Amino acid sequence: MFKSLLVANRGEIACRIMRTAKRMGLRTIAVYSDADRNALHVREADEAVYIGPPPPSESYLQIDRIIEAAKQTGAEAIHPGYGFLSENTKFAQALADTGITFVGPDAACIAAMGDKIESKRLAEEAGVPGVPGYAGDDQSDETLIQAAERIGFPVMVKASAGGGGKGMRRVFKREDLEDAIDLARREGKSSFGDDRLLVEKLITRPRHLEVQIAGDKHGNVIHLLERDCSVQRNNQKVLEEAPAPNLPDSVREKLFSRAVELAKAISYNSLGTVEFIMDADDDEPAFLEMNTRLQVEHPVTEFVTGLDLVELQIRIAAGEPLPLKQSDINATGHAIEARVTAEKPAQNFLPDIGRIHHIKWPENIRIDTGVQSGSEISQFYDSMIAKVIAQGSTRQEACDRLIGALRSTAIMGVESNVAFLADCAAVPDFYNGEATTSFLGDVFPDGWQADESERETARVCAAVVWQAQRSAAAGYSGFRALSGAGLPARTFLTVQKEGDDPVDLVLSKSTEGYTVTHSDTTSTVRVIELSENEAVLMRDGHRKKVTFSNTPEHFYLGFDGRVRTYSIMPTVEYARALAFAGGGSGEVTSDMPGSIAEVKVTEGDIVEEGAPLVVMESMKLLITLKASVAGKVTAVNVKQGDLINAGDVLVLVEDE
């Protein structure tokens, strides 16, 4: 067994791997970019080496720099995590040539399965049936279009080297095909350095099932049961669980035998995942792809098998034989994982970036994360904040624990999908184990919107906690001054939630607490407990515990898995600060920092409402910004390659 391990990754991935490595007594080495100088994975490592600027192509994807960092620190092995270089043949081969152990399969396995086109051919040779489609060498647009027309719409256009939902486009109509091919090519090139594509028949009500495989360097291969990852958005997994619910044993045996046969056919020698797709009304799983790495959702398998998959992967890399036989693997209980990401679910899941001011995680639940209060969510990497994993003796118990954990989570400073995840887990189709990959579209056909039934309660609680904080901090508060002058102890606050109109509240202090008045509505709120980031309030006989964080710009209030962002100030100050926002309806602005991938119009063009104007790249995603009005393009303020900030006006369209 080697004694030192460099983790060629970042965030929660690196933290997760180092946790096991430290338990095994290994010296851990992190690598970091400029954007990650103060990241949690850097602080938790025994050593850390700087490898370059924030863009992955200039740091985490730089093979030479990572190998040099290993040599500099004397690292005997490198774990690539998942993503970045984890399925890079050149990286695995370079380590083999250098004599540094790669914690993963050998280069031949990665080459065979990392390429979706080649993997389909090998699967067919191994007798593992796949999804009908085209995976040929001719990569011309004309050939791909002809293949899609021959297969019949809807189809899936996929980057051959893709993964994690990158470089994948669902196409339901012929007229959308060219744009889908173009975007999939560019995402494949940007994320994986490979722009080859394949086209497959899109199964519209499928279950996404996968089998965890473990193979050693002595020819032994076993499976570690299956997972269900059917709840997805844009081909990105949202909720994952083990074992798969409501799955006949006959289908389960097909999954296991086909996955093991494929792994044996390529002499697989690490941890990996064979993915299948199956129509919800069928019992014949079709091979989709094989990921030659550890998966984001591996913790649910760890819970039901009792194994530490990272430790198993490290021991295999060190040359040890599998410590288990197939008969030793049995499922105990159930586990469900939710991926918590920095995004705005109510705004079509637009990614969000910024500083996390405060995080409250649930107790007695597994949280895999690479961030903490004070961490920055950067535009340069994906939007993952954490994985929340719940287990139970039954699936219902695991589901209940997950919902409870999400409802007690509060992330302040960036918007997250926590409330959305809790809503998803509570939907009967998921709760009863009947979800397919069409789940989100079926449940939220018009998009997800947050429950606003507690809007007024939240606003009142925010105002009371804001005022209570200031009263506790001030030696001579405004309330005392008014009382001393023989006047009613009152304060006037203006509270505005982002996107809402401002509301004026009057807070009166009494022995019972605060009486809060808005128009004709009055309620009494008593502050029972007040600490740095938590308060216990009693409102009209209803006790409520809230989490909060206060910055010079915003006041954040969280409860029931929902975080609301307010601007609160004395009404007089608000009136002084009131300003009118500019920008006509023809302005196309960026909601986040990023770079310009393509400009589709020039000054003077006449465009229709909804016409694509600019393609920007942020957090590894390509986002097309469209005209909100029909009219004439009067200004184009950016060109391809430009870096942009949130709020920048990119294009102006004069409304007809």
List the strands of the sheet with 197-201, edge to edge.
133-134, 197-201, 155-159, 168-171
- State the helix-helix crossing angle for 309-317 and 298-305, rounded to 10 degrees: 100
> At 361, which helix (H) or strand (E)?
none
Tokens linked to 417: 């999908």
The structure tokens 């302040």 sit at 412
**What CA–CA distance (Å, rounded) separates 85 from 56?**
10
Secondary structure (DSSP) of 178-234: HHHHHHHHHHHHHHHS---EEEEEPPSSEEEEEEEEEE-TTS-EEEEEEEEEEEEET
293 catalytic? Reply is yes
**What CA–CA distance (Å, rounded) separates 625 from 103?**
41
> At 168, which helix (H) or strand (E)?
strand 168-171
Q: Residue 91 in 3-state DSSP?
A: helix
Q: Residue 622 in 3-state DSSP?
A: strand
- Please tell me which residue in 16, 169, 227, 293 is annotated as part of the active site: 293
Q: Is the previous residue joined to 154 through a cis bond, with omega within 30 degrees of 0?
A: yes
**Residues 151, 134: contact at Cβ < 8 Å?**
yes
**What CA–CA distance (Å, rounded) separates 530 from 628?**
46
Q: Which 8-state DSSP code applies to residue 130?
A: B
The structure tokens 């034989």 sit at 321
**Residue 47 contacts by C-beta under 8 Å, 6 or more apart in sequence?**
27, 28, 29, 30, 73
* Amino acid (1-letter code) at residue 644: I
> At 26, which helix (H) or strand (E)?
none
Q: Which 8-state DSSP code applies to residue 337?
A: E
Task: Quote the radius of gyration of the chain (alpha carbons, Å).
Answer: 27
> At 264, which helix (H) or strand (E)?
helix 249-265
**What CA–CA distance (Å, rounded) separates 139 from 124?**
21
Q: Which of 354, 355, 415, 350 is nearest to 618 (CA)?
A: 350
Q: How many C-alpha atoms does 368 have within 13 Å on its Cβ side?
A: 24
CA 617-621-625 angle, to 5 degrees, is: 60
**Residues 278, 264: contact at Cβ < 8 Å?**
no
**Residues 331, 245: contact at Cβ < 8 Å?**
no
**What CA–CA distance (Å, rounded) separates 442 from 244?**
20
Q: Residue 58 in 3-state DSSP?
A: helix
Catalytic residues: 293
